[in-house]
């Protein structure tokens, strides 16, 4: 028997073999303990570095784009976005102060050189180069349209709000009080969560079972159950010492409600959602069981349907002192700018803060905004409801500036509840601004109505269209934002017709949209859904005896 010695792997040999196989021209030189290759692949210039100590390779596409230095804030933001969503490539940039240019670089790292994999990655680099250029051009255009020098924050706010508004415009699928709160480090109790998103009136708590990979824990004392800290379900430690100790936890809350002695079980699932230098994130999903059927609680009653709500929470890694210092700096800066008539240099957030002179209200407004912008909607609600409740009693005596803060808090509360799928609570806040003329506010109210199957949607959208006709000549070219708004209303109206079983009306709307580039994809999906409904119910199903609302949007 002969034993042959395995040839030692060499990244340099493997990489040079790849270069020769694909006829790549290249030069090579040594820099300290690293071998540098400059090579051409399909007309693209790349640089590869192989370090002797670990025999790994890093490939860089040195210049995927060049932009003027004025776009640096936007480039920094987009690099962060792409690095967050792209696990293969790393986006970096460098500044040429002589020419006032910013160069953007793309790189990837390999422990093992394989020709087939290397070709795929290099081709992917070209794809992501085009993706970057398209994304940055679009982002720059949006920011400039807003006529704001802070391109990064302007773009972020625009993209985020429009994305979330559109997210609530979901395609159909086949399927069956003021809070004491200091910061993102304070305990976030189980009962506080339930009181906000899934109240259990007159509930008697029996026991709570907490299941994790570490084992099972059972709490029987009602006070201990109510106080169970959701922020520390997966995390151990606080501040800089906080660490993710578990990937998931499943909480089973056993209770009975009112005169019903039948035990029920609410399930709260908590899963890890990643971490960064600022916080450790968790996703909380609450599922409440349906009520038992009775004469007053029929099969079609909403109470017979299980309730599921999901949300993002986090444990902040900064301490309370830094949390307050951040707020104090931003608030003081906003007040000074307002005093010195420097409104042009203020962000939208600072404009709101400058109109608040009560420290507690300002603190809750600031952190409510921060949590809202971080998609931590449940935690944002706890702060923003403090702002709303602080202003509500003096509503009729408010100055215009105070009313603006109050209405923005109400809008964001409605937005948060909409994102959590709690549409009745959302409507409570959004209805306050039903006629204020703000397109964002109107879109969010329409979303709440459509998603909750509210029949008032039809009359409300017709009244909006009457207002549009009074202010614009529909025969002329409409501004882009008005056209987008009208198309949004039409899609939501068609969506609602389906929910109210008015399939002919819905089909008429979506068929007309097939020839419209901005609506075609949405219309194809909705028409496919209508077809499935007709197949399921029978083609010759009798129409509803109740006629649909008179008329339709005039397009």
DSSP, residue by residue, 287-347: EEPPPPPBTTB-TTSGGGS-EEEEEEEEEESS-HHHHHHHHHHHHHHHHHHHHTT-GGG--
> What is the CB neighbour count within 10 angstroms for residue 127?
9
SS3 labels along 398-465 = CCHHHHHHHHHHHHHHHHHHHHCCCHHHHHHHHHHHCCCCCHHHHHHHHHHHHHCCCCHHHHHHHHHH
For residue 400, give both structure tokens.
């215009």
For residue 539, give both structure tokens.
């083609």
CA 98 – CA 313 distance, rounded (Å): 45
Under 8 Å between Cβ of 333 and 293:
no
- Give the pLDDT confidence score for residue 68 in this predicted structure: 87
Write the CB contacts of 122 (distance below 8 Å, at least 6 apart in sequence): 41, 42, 44, 46, 59
- Give the pLDDT confidence score for residue 541 in this predicted structure: 47
Under 8 Å between Cβ of 268 and 310:
no
Cα torsion through 224, 226, 230, 235, rounded to 10 = -10
- Identify the DSSP state of 189: B
Under 8 Å between Cβ of 506 and 533:
no
**CA atoms 482, 135, 351, 416: torsion sign:** positive
Residue 531 Cα distances to 19, 238, 483, 503, 537, angstroms: 54, 54, 28, 9, 10
Under 8 Å between Cβ of 394 and 328:
no
Pick the CATH number of 11-166 from 3.30.930.10, 3.40.640.10, 3.40.50.150, 3.30.1460.10: 3.30.1460.10
- Give the pLDDT confidence score for residue 5 in this predicted structure: 46
For residue 37, give both structure tokens.
């290759």
Write the CB contacts of 152 (distance below 8 Å, at least 6 apart in sequence): 73, 74, 76, 77, 143
CA 377 – CA 387 distance, rounded (Å): 15
Strands (E), 12-69: 26-31, 34-41, 44-51, 56-68
- Give the pLDDT confidence score for residue 139 in this predicted structure: 77
For residue 420, give both structure tokens.
């959590």
- Give the pLDDT confidence score for residue 178 in this predicted structure: 37
CA 22 – CA 469 distance, rounded (Å): 63
Sequence-distant contacts of 456-461: CB under 8 A, at least 24 apart: 457/492, 457/493, 457/496, 458/493, 458/496, 458/548, 458/549, 459/549, 460/434, 461/489, 461/492, 461/493, 461/553
User: Class of 321-537 per CATH?
Assistant: mainly alpha
Angle at 212 between CA 210 and CA 213, to 5 degrees: 160
- Give the pLDDT confidence score for residue 105 in this predicted structure: 92
Sheet holding 26-31, edge to edge: 26-31, 34-41, 44-51, 56-68, 101-110, 90-96
CA 162 – CA 146 distance, rounded (Å): 14
Domain residue spans of the chain: 11-166, 190-294+302-317, 321-537
Cα torsion through 31, 32, 35, 41, rounded to 10 = -30
| Global pTM exceeds 0.95 | no
Under 8 Å between Cβ of 385 and 179:
yes
CA 288 – CA 137 distance, rounded (Å): 46
> Tens digit of pLDDT per residue, the chain (555 long)?
444 444 566 888 888 999 998 899 999 988 877 899 999 998 899 999 987 766 678 899 999 999 988 788 788 878 877 776 666 788 888 887 777 788 999 988 877 788 888 888 898 899 889 888 888 887 777 666 555 545 545 555 555 555 556 555 655 554 433 344 445 567 788 988 888 887 787 788 899 999 988 888 999 999 999 999 998 889 888 878 888 888 989 999 998 876 667 788 889 999 988 887 778 888 999 988 776 544 444 444 444 455 788 888 888 887 666 666 777 777 787 788 877 777 777 777 778 888 887 888 888 888 898 889 888 899 999 999 999 998 887 888 888 888 888 999 999 999 999 988 898 899 999 998 877 878 888 999 999 999 889 999 999 999 888 888 888 777 777 788 888 888 999 999 999 999 898 999 999 999 999 988 888 888 998 999 899 888 887 765 444 434 444 445 544
Residues paired with 251 in a beta bridge: 210, 268
């Amino acid at each position: 028997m002969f034993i042959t010695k395995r040839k030692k792997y060499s990244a340099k040999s493997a990489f040079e073999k790849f270069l020769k196989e694909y006829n790549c021209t290249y030069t090579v030189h040594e820099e300290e303990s690293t071998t540098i290759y400059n090579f051409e692949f399909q007309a693209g210039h790349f640089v590869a570095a192989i370090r002797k100590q670990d025999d790994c390779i890093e490939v860089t596409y040195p210049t995927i784009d060049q932009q003027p230095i004025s776009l640096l804030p936007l480039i920094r933001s987009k690099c962060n976005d792409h690095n967050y969503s792209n696990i293969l490539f790393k986006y970096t940039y460098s500044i040429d102060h002589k020419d006032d240019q910013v160069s953007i670089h793309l790189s990837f790292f390999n422990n093992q050189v394989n020709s087939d994999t290397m070709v795929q990655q290099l081709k992917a680099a070209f794809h992501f180069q085009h993706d970057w250029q398209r994304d940055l051009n679009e982002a720059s255009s949006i920011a400039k349209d807003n006529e704001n020098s802070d391109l990064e924050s302007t773009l972020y706010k625009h993209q985020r709000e429009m994305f979330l508004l559109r997210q609530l415009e979901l395609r159909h699928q086949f399927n069956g009080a003021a809070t004491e709160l200091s910061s993102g480090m304070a305990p976030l109790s189980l009962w506080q969560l339930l009181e906000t998103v899934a109240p259990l009136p007159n509930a008697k708590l029996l026991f709570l079972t907490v299941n994790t990979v570490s084992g099972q824990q059972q709490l029987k004392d009602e006070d201990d159950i109510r106080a169970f800290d959701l922020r520390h379900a997966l995390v151990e430690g606080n501040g800089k010492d906080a660490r993710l100790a578990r990937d998931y936890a499943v909480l089973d809350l056993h209770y009975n409600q009112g005169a019903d002695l039948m035990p029920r079980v609410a399930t709260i699932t908590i899963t890890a959602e990643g971490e960064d230098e600022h916080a450790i994130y968790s996703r909380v999903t609450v599922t409440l069981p349906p009520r038992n059927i009775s004469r007053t609680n029929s099969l079609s009653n909403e109470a017979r349907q299980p309730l599921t709500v999901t949300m993002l929470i986090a444990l902040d890694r900064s301490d309370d002192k830094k949390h307050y210092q951040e707020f104090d700096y931003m608030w003081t800066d906003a007040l000074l700018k307002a005093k010195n008539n420097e409104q042009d240099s203020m962000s939208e957030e600072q404009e709101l803060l400058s109109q608040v002179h009560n420290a507690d209200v300002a603190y809750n407004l600031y952190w409510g905004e921060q949590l809202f912008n971080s998609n931590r909607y449940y935690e944002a609600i706890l702060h923003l409801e403090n702002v709303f409740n602080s202003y509500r009693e003096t509503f009729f005596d408010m100055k215009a500036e105070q009313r603006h803060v109050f209405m923005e808090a109400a809008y964001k509360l409605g937005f948060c509840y909409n994102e959590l799928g709690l549409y009745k609570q959302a409507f409570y806040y959004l209805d306050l601004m039903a006629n204020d003329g703000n397109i964002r506010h109107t879109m969010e109210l329409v979303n709440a109505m459509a998603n909750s199957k509210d029949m008032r949607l039809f009359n409300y959208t017709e009244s909006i269209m009457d207002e549009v006709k009074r202010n614009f000549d529909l025969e002329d070219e409409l501004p882009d934002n008005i056209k987008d708004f009208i198309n949004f209303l039409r899609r939501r109206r068609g969506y609602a017709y389906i929910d109210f079983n008015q399939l002919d009306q819905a089909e008429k709307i979506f068929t007309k949209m097939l020839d419209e580039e901005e609506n075609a994809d949405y219309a194809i999906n909705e028409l496919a859904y209508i077809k499935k409904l007709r197949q399921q119910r029978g083609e010759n199903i009798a129409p509803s005896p109740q006629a649909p609302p008179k008329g339709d949007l005039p397009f």
